[in-house]
Chain A
Amino acid sequence: MSIIQVERPKAGTPGADDAGFKRELVQLIPHLRAFARTLCGDPAAADDLAQDAMMKAWDARASFQMGTNMKAWTFMILRNQFYSEKRRSWRQSQLDQEAAERTLVAVDDPEAPVALDELRQGLAMLPAEQREALILVGAGGFAYEEAAEICNCAVGTVKSRVSRARRALHAILEAGAYDRDGASAGDAMRAILADAERLSTVR
């Protein structure tokens, strides 16, 4: 808790470390935007949130210990910012029933058994705490311990949220898939995985 406290930097604090902090912060902006997008859904609202979090981090730089995990620290700030301001949640902004139906109908590409739109829709149906745990661990590249720190909960809690989220998402998408074509999409999935293997080596 204490490390995310926003303290006003003391006037006259030497700016020597500021340059290094700024460099690191700039590199994190794409990740902050991505995390904000998963929380807000709406891209414009997400960028507002990411900007606010970036400025909060900048203002609090005096309290950041250089050398510690700045990504986790900024994600924590962003998350707190999101929940403290009760921003429009993903669910509110995304779960427009008509749009949901359009999306499910539109997904008929046999090459994409787990289409992005479908995944977004599935994510929107998860409880917020499961969604953020799955995103931090499954997409953000955080260890369970780091995700626990970001979400301010126990490691075991994160683990169980991630595993419940995976199961639920799987069930949701499964239902959607069988709704759609009623057939096995195994070959298409193998193709996607092979393709993704190639792409993910970039990470």
Chain B
Amino acid sequence: MIEQRPTEERRKASAALDEARLRQQAIGVRLRQMFDEVVNEEVPDEFLEILRRADARTAENGG
């Protein structure tokens, strides 16, 4: 029984390492998901409206 312990501990350590790696990957994936969640939102009309007004001002002044 005692002889089995080191093997068991190594197995656990290796599993922990795998899990740490997986977790690091999962963090990266979630980070992109968090960002993309906003990227994929519909842009509020306000943005385009502000830009449209600014563009119209330019046309008046410049053209």
Complex CA distance for A171 and B11, rounded to whole angstroms: 22
Complex CA distance for A140 and B31, rounded to whole angstroms: 9
Complex CA distance for A58 and B48, rounded to whole angstroms: 12
Closest A residue to B35 by beta carbon equals A139
Q: Does A129 contact B (CB under 8 A)?
A: no
CB within 8 Å of B: which of A138-168? 138-140, 166
CB within 8 Å of B: which of A161-185? 166, 169-170, 173-174, 177, 184-185
CB–CB B34/A114 < 8 A:
no
Query: Which B residues touch A170, using CB under 8 A?
Result: 20, 23-24, 27
Q: How many residues of B contact A (CB 8 A)?
A: 38
By secondary structure, the A interface counts as helix
| B5: min CB distance to chain A, Å | 19
CB within 8 Å of B: which of A24-49? 25-26, 29-31, 33-35, 37-38, 47
Digitize A122-134: 1 where CB-to-B-CB distance is under 8 Å, 0 elsewhere: 0000000000001
Q: How many residues of A contact B (CB 8 A)?
A: 53
Query: Which A residues touch B51, using CB under 8 A?
Result: 22, 25-26, 54-55, 58
CB within 8 Å of A: which of B1-56? 15, 18-20, 22-41, 43-44, 46-48, 50-51, 54-55
Interface centre among B20, B24, B33, B38 (most CB of A within 10 A): B38
Query: Which A residues touch B19, using CB under 8 A?
Result: 184-186, 189
Interface centre among B24, B30, B55, B62 (most CB of A within 10 A): B30
What are 6 of the A-B contact pairs (CB < 8 Å)? A113-B23, A186-B18, A189-B23, A193-B26, A193-B29, A203-B32
* 3 closest cross-chain pairs (CB), A and B: A139-B35, A34-B38, A196-B29
